[in-house]
A and B are shown apart, each in its own frame.
Chain A
Amino acid sequence: SQQGEEDPQALSIQEGENATMNCSYKTSINNLQWYRQNSGRGLVHLILIRSNEREKHSGRLRVTLDTSKKSSSLLITASRAADTASYFCATGLNAGNMLTFGGGTRLMVKP
C-alpha cells in the first residue's frame, strides 16, 4: 500500500472558502512535500516541510506536520477557481532515495 494517504479523496468548495487536505504516512521521513496537478499535466512542486519543522507558509498555502501522528495538512486559504486541481503529498524517507506519493485529493473550487 502507499506510504502517503490523502483525505478526503475529493473536495468541492465555493470560491473564497478555505480548503484543507490531509495526508497520513507510515514510516519515519526526511521531509514531506505537496504537489499540485492540473488535469492532464505534470505535477508541480508546491512546498516542502522537513521532519524537524511543524509549520510552513507559502503565499496562500499553509502546511503543518505532526510527526508523532505521522500526518500533515495542506490549507489553501481564500480559494480561487484556478486552484481546481489534484493535490498530492509525497514523503521522502531517511533511508531511501525516492519520493513516495499518495493517491491525491481532487479539489474543485466553484466560481
Chain B
Amino acid sequence: EAQVTQNPRYLITVTGKKLTVTCSQNMNHEYMSWYRQDPGLGLRQIYYSMNVEVTDKGDVPEGYKVSRKEKRNFPLILESPSPNQTSLYFCASSRGRGYQPQHFGDGTRLSIL
C-alpha cells in the first residue's frame, strides 16, 4: 500500500529537549516536504526536498532542520523546541515537482511545554 508514515503520532515534551519526527514514503517520490497546521493559519510549509541531498526552506523554516540522505526518508529535527512550535505537523511526498498532488502522512501532534 502506497503511504507516507510519520512517527511519532503524538509527543509531549519540554522546551529545549531535542526531538526528531521521522517520515518515510514507499512510493519512490522525488519530492518530500514538511508542513505545520495551526488554527486560523492553515498549512504552512517548513522545508522541502527535491531529491536526495537537496533541501530548501519553505515559508516557516526557523527553528527546524531537515536532512535527505535517502530518497524514502525525510526527518524533521527540532534542535531546541520552544512552545511556539506546538502544532500539528504533516509530511508529504509527490512525484516530480512540488506542485504535483501531494500524498500526506497522518500527522504528528507535538506539544512543547
Chain A residues near B (Cβ < 8 Å): 2, 30-31, 33, 35, 40-45, 48, 88, 90, 92-93, 96-104
Contact = CB atoms under 8 A, between A and B. Distances in A.
Contacts, number: 62
B88 to A, nearest CB: 8
Nearest to B103: A45
Given A103-B41, A104-B42, A97 B103 contact: no
B79 to A, nearest CB: 23
A30 B56 CA distance: 20
B29 to A, nearest CB: 13
Contact of B48 (A44, A98, A101): A98
B18 interface: no
Contacts of A43: 43, 90, 92, 102, 104
Interface residues of B, number: 27
Contact of B98 (A99, A101, A103): A99
Contacts of B104: 42-44
A93 B99 contact: yes
B102 A97 contact: no
Given A40-B107, A42-B107, A98 B98 contact: yes
Q: Decide if the interface of chain A is mainly helix, strand, loop or mixed.
A: strand
A41 B97 CA distance: 24
B16 interface: no
Contact of B99 (A30, A41, A44, A103): A30
B75 interface: no
Given A2-B42, A42-B90, A96 B98 contact: yes
Nearest to B4: A42
6 contacts: A30-B99, A92-B97, A96-B98, A96-B99, A97-B48, A101-B35
Contact of B102 (A99, A102, A103): A99
Nearest to A31: B99
A46 to B, nearest CB: 9
B81 interface: no
Contacts of A45: 101-103
B42 A88 contact: yes
